[in-house]
Structure 1
Amino acid sequence: MNTFTNQKAIVTGATKGIGKAITEALLAQGATVLGLYSGDEAAASAFAAAHPEAGERLRLHKVDVSDCKAVQVFCRETEEQFDTIDILVNNAGIRRDAVLAMMRQEDWQRVLDVNLTGGYNMCRFALPLMLKQKYGRIIFITSPMGHLGFAGQANYAASKAGQVGLMKSLSKEVAKRKITVNCVSPGFIGTEFIGDLSEEQMKDYKKLVPAGRFGTPEEVADAVLFLADKRAAYINGSVLEVTGGL
């Protein structure tokens, strides 16, 4: 069933990991997806080549979500081409781990710029395209680290906690326009995002998960599609955890 036929979706961080799975799931359900990526041209090219069947429904754009001007230009061009959008998935995110006493200021700032300010930029300039039709779905991909915290991830945890606060406030601002704003909070998911962890760390983290395994990107994508559906109209300001019980 093509639940999202004739809908337009923007997905940030769209060509790898969880974002890739979300983009593929939306395409499979009939949506037109404007996928944003920051700089990995090889991954973007490979992703496009792997989905020739999508045709014009898959449109990839190189945009740094932390760059306010670049996001504004992208959203202006999107409005000129499509007039409105239906779904925004703020998935783009990075990690630059270090204990706080040794964390470089630029690493602190870059994680906040991409993970938190990037979501602000996307919402600020994409929202008018939803407001003009009085309908939309905005979904942030956050993390349990926002409330659990891990040693060495103060910047990442702060950015993810900030996403939840941003979501909560925005959900109250736009609810009367039939726009919902929610978070999906994945736990440990088997992607390249955690590929830099040692084998010992992987074993230790897996022990923390009651389900006894890491999740898959497709399981996160299923949660995103649930919240993006028109039938999720009364779910607003919520955090849906996909953590295996973490």
Structure 2
Amino acid sequence: MEINLKGKKAIVTGGSGQLGRCIVRTLAQCGADVAIHYHKNSEKAEELAAELKAMGKKSGVFQADITKEQSIYDMRDKVYEQFGKPDIIINNAVIQYTWKNILEQDPADFFSQFESCVMHNIYMNQAFVPHLIEQQYGRIVVMNTECAALSDAGSAAYVAGKRGLDGIVRCLAKEIGKYNITVNQVAPGWTISDRARKEHTEVQPDYDRTVPLGHRGTDQDIANMVCFLASDLAAFTTGAYIPVCGGRVMPAI
């Protein structure tokens, strides 16, 4: 048994970012062609697309501001014209900001998280899902976070955005399941990516001791779950919130 995405086309928002790059590469390794969305990091996106083409996979880079509806629709039109119509949608992009306690947090940060978590997904769904309905098949995988379940002090803007996202995913899964489209969430913990490897900050004792498995997960751990949910191995899983955080979050029944 293997994760086989041969013949599938995927789009990854935030594909040029730390986690996005690993997701893009892993989708391609599983056989998918991948459209790479970026906001500002065109250089990384182009480098990644070149990697995929060297693997024999079709790729392309597409710019958009994921908080702006028209920008998403403009990107969709270019993706359809230059790359094709994706079967797999990976909504991974999010706006980064400095965490503070609620009483100190700039209200603009709450709006930015709502825009990049909730509205980002609404715009992507409204733009790309009609094709999935038309072809009676699709996979949507959305990036959430362990923070949505933990609600730690200082994370309120992020948590509010991701909890709103959770509601969107659950409703969407019920609305479009009849079209053979699954919608699931992957919820990473504090993940080791290229930046941490470069800075040699993989080990974080205070955090690691709170993880039942004893260490942080990697971007590859997250990408593996994304690809599983994007595949037909997960054809009967939808509406799920799946933590990939070493057991730090264990949703209860």
Partner SS, residue 182 of structure 1: strand
| One-letter identity of the residue aligned with 1:65 | I
Aligned to 1:226: 228
CA distance, structure 2, for counterparts of residue 234 and residue 2 of structure 1: 15
Aligned to 2:38: 37
Point out the structure with the larger helix share. 1
Aligned to 2:5: 4
CA distance, structure 1, for counterparts of residue 21 and residue 149 of structure 2: 26
| One-letter identity of the residue aligned with 1:186 | P
Q: Residues 186-214 of structure 1: CA distance to partner in whole angstroms, max 9, x if unpaired? A: 1121136889xxx7x94322221111111
Structure-to-structure mapping, 1:1-246, within 5 angstroms: 3-54=4-55, 57-81=58-82, 84-96=85-97, 97-191=99-193, 202-246=204-248
Deviates most, 44-53 or 61-70: 44-53
CA 1:67–1:232: 2 relative to 1, 3 Å: same
CA distance, structure 2, for counterparts of residue 218 and residue 206 of structure 1: 18
Partner SS, residue 100 of structure 1: coil
TM-score by length of 1: 0.90
Partner SS, residue 88 of structure 1: strand
Superposition CA RMSD, Å:
2.3
CA contact (8 A) 1:21 1:218 kept: yes
TM-score by length of 2: 0.88
Q: Residues 90-111 of structure 1: CA distance to partner in whole angstroms, max 9, x if unpaired? A: 1112332111111112222112
Deviates most, 16-25 or 51-60: 51-60
CA 1:111–1:229: 2 relative to 1, 3 Å: same
CA distance, structure 1, for counterparts of residue 81 and residue 74 of structure 2: 11
CA contact (8 A) 1:183 1:238 kept: yes
| One-letter identity of the residue aligned with 1:145 | C
CA 1:24–1:68: 2 relative to 1, 3 Å: same
CA 1:234–1:49: 2 relative to 1, 3 Å: closer
| One-letter identity of the residue aligned with 1:151 | A
CA distance, structure 1, for counterparts of residue 215 and residue 150 of structure 2: 19
CA contact (8 A) 1:83 1:129 kept: no
CA 1:130–1:6: 2 relative to 1, 3 Å: same
CA distance, structure 1, for counterparts of residue 107 and residue 207 of structure 2: 27
Gaps of 5+ in 1: none
Partner SS, residue 215 of structure 2: coil
CA contact (8 A) 1:84 1:132 kept: no
Q: Residues 68-99 of structure 1: CA distance to partner in whole angstroms, max 9, x if unpaired? A: 10101111333345663210011112332111
CA distance, structure 2, for counterparts of residue 64 and residue 218 of structure 1: 26
Identical columns (%)? 30
Partner SS, residue 208 of structure 2: helix
Q: Residues 137-156 of structure 1: CA distance to partner in whole angstroms, max 9, x if unpaired? A: 00111011112112111110
